[in-house]
Amino acid sequence: IVSNMLAKSTRIAKPAPQLPINHEDIDKTEARLLKGPTSEAWKKVGVKHHYGICVPLFGLKTEQSRGIGEFLDLLPLADFCESIKMDVIQMLPLNDINTDNSPFSPISCFALNPMFLSMEKLPHADQATEEMKKLMADLQGLNSALRVDWVSVREKKEKWMREYLKLQTVKTSVLTSQEYSSFKESNKYWLPSYSLFYTLKRKNNLAGWVDWPETKELDLAAKDGKLSSIQETKQYQALTKEYAEAMEFYQFQQYCCDLQLSAAKKYAESKGVWLKGDVPFLCSGDSADVWVHRDLFQQGYSAGAPPDMYSKDGQDWGLPLYNWSAMDLDNFTWWKQRLQVASKYYTLYRIDHIVGFYRVWAVPKGKKASEGGYQPQDKALWIPQGERILRIMLDASKMLPIGEDLGSIPKEVYLNLQKLGICGTRVLRWERMWENKEQGQPFIPVADYIPDSMSTVSTHDSETLPLWWLLKQDEAKAYCQHRRWSYRVQDLKGQPPKEYQYHLENQNQKIVGKTMPVPYLQDILREANTSSSLFHIHLLSEYLALVPPTTDEEGLIHWDPNLERVNIPGTVQSSNWSYRMRPSISTINQHQVLKDLMLKSRESVQADISPLPERKPHVYERQYSTQLPTKLRVLPGRSYPLGATWDGAGVNFAVFSENGYKAYLCLFETPESKTESHRILMPEYDDFVHHCYLPDLRPGQLYGYRIEGDWDPLNGLRFNSNKVLLDPYAKSIGRDLQWHDSLFPYNIQSPSPHKYLEMNTEDNSSFCPLAAVVDNSFTWGNDHPPNVPWHRTVIYEAHVKALSFQHPDVPEHIRGTYAGLCHESIIAHLKKLGVTAIELEPIHHHVDEKPILDKGLVNHWGYNTLSFFAPDLRYCATRSVLGAVHEFKTMVRVLHSHGIEVILDVVYNHTAEGNHYGAMFNLKGCDNLAYYKTPEGDPAYYFDYTGCGNSLNVRHPRVLQLIMDSLRYWIQEMHVDGFRFDLASALARQFHDVDKLSAFFDIIHQDPVISRVKLIAEPWDCSSGGYQVGNFPVLWTEWNGRYRDSIRGFWNGKGVSLGEFATRVTGSSDLYTAESGRSALSSINFVTCHDGFNLLDLVSYNEKHNDDNGENNNDGANDNHSYNHGCEGSTDDSGINEFRWRQRANFVATLFLSLGVPMILSGDELSKTQNGNNNTYCQDNEITWLDWDLYDDEDEFLQFTSKMIKLRKSHAVLNRRRHLKGEVNGVKDVTWYMPEGHEPSYDDWHNTTKQALGFVMDGDAIVDLSHTGQVHKGETILVLVNAQFFDVNFKLPAHHSGKHWQLLISTDRALKNQCGTSVFQPSSSFTLKDHSISIFHLYAPINQSRANLFRSVNLRKSQDSV
């Protein structure tokens, strides 16, 4: 539909680029806006700063008011604005409304509200009858009310108008006038249908039109006649004739409204004041518009909002959506007519919910708001659709629109509005850098607001500024901190008048008689009024608050600040839409103090307030060293700790080199420096450590080392002082490397096969990576590790960049960064999913290998470490030297605050320096023989257990120290909660074979810091004897590769037996034996990980498809235990897709039903595909980035995954800390069943053709104790598994409790509606679909519970009789 619309518009090309307008001067702004589609409107009002007030018309009051504000009250209000040099009066919608009184769900989007008529000003009103005079007196009596009494006003005004219409002079002179006839003719598009609608609504006792018998008759006639609208039917024409007299009343009311509002506009413009209207985006379903033009609306959907931080379940506003395709066929006549009518009354107008023209959250009728989705679904259509519709609206009238663009708005929408010249809205107290949590989410300077916007301090849906100050003290105090004020509250003087006494009982009674200090209020208004926005419009009530009640003066605001509020969104209460200003308009017109204060609020002079004492925060004046002194003081320093250590007065440098002669500290002034500005011989050498101390240096200083020693590669010595080396203990990378021949220690251009023996004397200082001195200070607050026990842990393996890079709710500038990962939208996803720990792929700063870069790719995974201490700069939003450390710490702190642990994937088995043909970055040049493992007798080469060129020499104490210091640094300084050791078997090769008694394990076991965090091994490497699943010592958990392969093979038909399946599901006790001190919790169970197929590809591909990697599909594993289910890759075949959905659900269900620690791969829950690539190490693109735009099936899979995690967490039988015992107190902890109901035989266990099994895990057979010593009791669950290609009938087992079985969850979506409702008796038959799992729990039916109760009562009666 939208594509057809786009084809008709030749004006839409590409989305507009972002305009650099934040600081343009007024002349440039004017030139830009006068070239756009809103140019005529801008020419009329002028491209200049406009100031105004916003007030609901019903809230105005004059001495002649009738309990409600009226159209002609705008005349004295225009006088008031002229006197204080304001040129805009903004109102809420003035359309006729339903009985809920909300102006945003009008009964007609065209008709005005007749309750706003100034009746005494109507023609011939002086001839009022006695009845009319009495009604007028009654209405006058409502003028003293604190709120609008809509019921009374509506009743009495309508009676008056009906009496007025009966006046003979009105009938003869008004109803017969040419003006009245012209009005009806010019409004024939909407006026007759509106008046007939209102007539029938009254006839049917205000019932909704869907229940009218007339509606049913009209619908039937339209259907029989195949007509698109009920207006085309003969029955409709008959109704207009039948009710012509009744309709005349409503048409006449609209004529009167038109006279008065047009007069108000004309008068206001004569005073230099523009009226600004409000056009609601939607209209009520029970409205004349929807009744008549049903083809223009989607009756099966209502508008709303998705689940977000404001509403976890989403919002359903109950208002129908537009049918844009039908409107397009009608040339958007309805919208054009609507705006043309509005343009008679307004010069400017507010477009409510302007983002709705681009995309709207559509909630299907009868569904929850969370089950809705955006229309259009394709994000690529949002901007073209919105731009085309808005351009049509701009062409329809000469009014200047100002959009309400608050809330979660795609950035592209903001840019498009700028392109169209449509102002947005900036609410000062909400304009903050919300993503910048580490700096307290600072307020955006008002000077940075874009010019084409409207600044305000509140909206009609929010608290007024004083009410916000009193109720939202945390936000108010944050603003005080921004302005360097001390927060305080001002008490009103004297006693509240009697009419306020009853309000002292309301829920906010503590704030009655209080307000915010007037100087603060005045200064906030002044700040908003001096912003770069062209429009500055505030609620009138906020200006009135500048004059609060005192003992000497009554004041201009209510004693109860709650009475100043217009509406509380999401609530239905009589106080909504009933605001009335306390003073009359004549009072404020004569109030010179108020006028002076309002005029001063536009001056730039600071208000007289009490600022906080000036503080000088501890900040550094530079990120990098600038010009260093020619001579620096060099002191001996210390040999420990290694690396660069800032102590508050200077920096200590210490670098290990056992075989090097001399070490030079090289200082660089900027990242662009071609060579060092200072080369300092490090004077001290203790314990093979060169060290010195420089008191003249500060954090941010860039540095490296040069080490002198022998160049003798045949003996393993590769010292080359032509190379500046990165500190092995670098805490921050101040400059990344640039690939160049000088980075290699040998002559890379030599044609000799032994070129690695020839020294390269070219200096590398222009291209080498540099370290930066860091300041470790950080405000951790009350941060503490969540310490989630292993049996409650759910691990989520993720990549920092891929996780958030395409998330629409993460601000674009922090996507793919540490800050993006801890954004509230990502955390909300993790918490909703049930994750307790996020395992991050490597975040140590890594090197992109040159061969990969030459192919136009990068090392996306990052398993090529450059520094074991420095967080990768690639994932830092600011990319600053000191920013990465701070941002990473902030990420950890935020995740911890939500109970989520951080586990790092660490690569200590090799480095980025490669083999003897590799580059030299740090360790090779510091001491090659000490750091790397070389073959005995042939040290020119390297042991390579990883396939990456080298292996660290974990036999050397300094290498072990490097690893342990790194681990402790990440725990103690960066607060991480654990580590996953990549190719951990390589670290256990003390000599050559893997040795679980190696020094590496010994040191970790005795270390009081490292031994207390989560330790996860990838228990294999790439050399012989490296596969060590089940062989790591106590304290270690392992990625259970046997589990992955067996579970994949079982479900994908690879001949895995029931015995093997059962062993993996119950904790792999054959691998992790109790005798070795291990349990099921030693097993990290997983089906997919970053390496290999992800879950969707596992069920969609038989073969790998790695051509994008540029290695002719030769990389990556060939045996994936995968199955494509009938088609290689994606398909439109619904049967195959359903099969794949079920298989993925089977994998997820199996994972979370298994004893051990579950781990899922990021993106699997979102149905992410990698297009068959099972080795995406070099794919930093859409292949690996998560796609958050989900279709229905994908969203359902996400919900299923979340349900399985919740099921696991809520059932103690799935959270055991010990292996199964077999039987506890006469109850089996697990009982296995074949479909026929008997326990499996030996043949059943080992016959690979049998693939159906049931098992009961009994909640009465748990031996685990809680921390208080209580025995864990849990629910008993029954699991039925069928991996065969046909349905299986299971005989449901009996339980010793005598209870029945209730279906909880099934991977068979045909049973979705039965889950949680269907109950089955023991021994009954249950048909389990092929390749599915169904899970049950014990359930006592109501009749059984009653029978047990009756039996116990009868027993007591019989005992009493005995």
Residues 6+ apart with CB under 8 A from 78: 89, 264, 267, 268, 271, 273
3-state secondary structure of 222: helix
3-state secondary structure of 1048: helix
775 tagged catalytic: no
Q: List the structure tokens of 986.
A: 């390589």
- Report DSSP state, residue 537: E
DSSP 1305-1328: EES-GGGGGGTTT-EE-TT-EEEE
Q: How many CA atoms lie within 13 A of 270 on its CB side?
A: 11
**Separation between Cα atoms, residue 1315 and residue 720, nearest integer Å:** 70
**Separation between Cα atoms, residue 591 and residue 581, nearest integer Å:** 15
Q: What type of residue is 938?
A: D
**Separation between Cα atoms, residue 1145 and residue 971, nearest integer Å:** 36
**What is the CB neighbour count within 10 angstroms for residue 753?**
7
Q: Which helix (H) or strand (E) holds 895?
A: helix 883-897
Q: Which of 524, 517, 521 is nearest to 492 (CA)?
A: 517
**Catalytic pick among 982, 1091, 1260, 1308:** 982
DSSP 921-965: SSHHHHHHHHHB---TT-TTS---SSSSS--B-TTSHHHHHHHHH
**Separation between Cα atoms, residue 20 and residue 1035, nearest integer Å:** 56
1115 tagged catalytic: no
Q: List the structure tokens of 857.
A: 């790719």
Task: State how beta strands 770-772 and 733-735 pair.
Answer: antiparallel
**Catalytic pick among 404, 452, 848, 1018:** 1018
Distances in Å between the alpha carbon of 878 and those of 734, 825, 1208? 13, 20, 40
Q: What type of residue is 901?
A: E
| Number of helices and strands in the chain (H, E) | 38, 43
Structural contact between residues 285 and 318, judged by C-beta atoms closer than 8 angstroms? yes
Greatest CA span in the chain, whole angstroms? Answer: 122
Within 949-1040, strands assigned E span 978-981, 1014-1017, 1037-1039
Structural contact between residues 416 and 387, judged by C-beta atoms closer than 8 angstroms? yes
Task: State how beta strands 274-279 and 88-90 pair.
Answer: parallel
Structural contact between residues 964 and 891, judged by C-beta atoms closer than 8 angstroms? no
Q: List the structure tokens of 1154.
A: 């298994």
Q: Which of 110, 72, 115 is nearest to 186 (CA)?
A: 110
Pick left, alpha or beta for residue 1036 (phi over 0 → left; psi -120 to 50 → alpha; otherwise beta).
Answer: beta
Structural contact between residues 718 and 920, judged by C-beta atoms closer than 8 angstroms? yes
Q: How many CA atoms lie within 13 A of 926 on its CB side?
A: 25
Contacts 24+ apart (CB under 8 A), 1123-1126: 1123/1052, 1123/1053, 1123/1099, 1124/1099, 1124/1100, 1125/1099, 1125/1100
Residue written as token pair 């990052």 = 862
Residue written as token pair 């609206």 = 393
**Separation between Cα atoms, residue 1067 and residue 1082, nearest integer Å:** 8
Question: Which residues does the annotation mark as catalytic?
Answer: 982, 1018
